[in-house]
Amino acid sequence: MKMKFKTWTCGFLAGLIATIVLTALSLTLYYSGIIPISISEYGARFILHIPDKPMHIGRWIVGFITNFSIGGVFGVLSAYLYKATGPEEKLIKLCGITFLMWFFQLAIVPFLDPTMHKYSTYDTAIAYYILYIIWSIVATSFIIKFLAFPDTDTAITK
């Protein structure tokens, strides 16, 4: 059976769907006072270089655009990873994707904008890592199960 795999579309959709979940969880944790900054606010503050100014609707919109754009890019990267390597060893791939996103957020971003380092706290690091694990599970599950390998379960039982 020949598999039809539209890597860009598949990855971008998976990244967007996973980012919806990520954003909802992040905002819930933020407004509950569990984490000091939501992922969307983090993105807005980085892109607009506004580490200490209050957020307003325009800044939140920039944060959401940033989040969903980066989520789409990481979704495409995930899709290419799965296209090149197949659905085997999902756990290792999940950990790798999670680490890349986490490292980008908490190591690369503060390096590019030193005013962002104050948001790289241990509680933010732990919460973001868990959120990125959830993102990876949603994105890769969506890629593997519904778009890239729709008959994975039947192939295993045959």
Encode pLDDT of 96-118 as tens digits. Answer: 888 888 888 888 888 888 888 88
Q: How many Cβ atoms sit within 10 Å of the Cβ of residue 157?
A: 5
Indicate the domain borders of the chain: 7-157
Banded model confidence at residue 25, pLDDT cuts 50, 70, 90: very high
The answer to whether 55 and 41 are in contact (CB under 8 A) is yes
User: Any idea which of 41-50, 63-72, 76-85 has the lowest mean pLDDT?
Assistant: 76-85
Alpha-carbon distance of 46 to 115, in angstroms, equals 9
Give residue-wise pLDDT tens across range 134-151. 998 888 887 777 776 666
* Percent helix, strand and coil across the chain, each to the nearest 5: 80, 0, 20
3-state class (DSSP) for residue 32: coil
Phi and psi for 24 in degrees, rounded to 5? -60, -45
**Confidence (pTM):** 0.82
The answer to whether 19 and 40 are in contact (CB under 8 A) is no
> In the predicted model, is pLDDT for residue 156 greater than 50?
no
Indicate the residue type of 17: I
Q: Quick one: which of 98, 90, 100, 67 has its CA closest to 148? A: 90
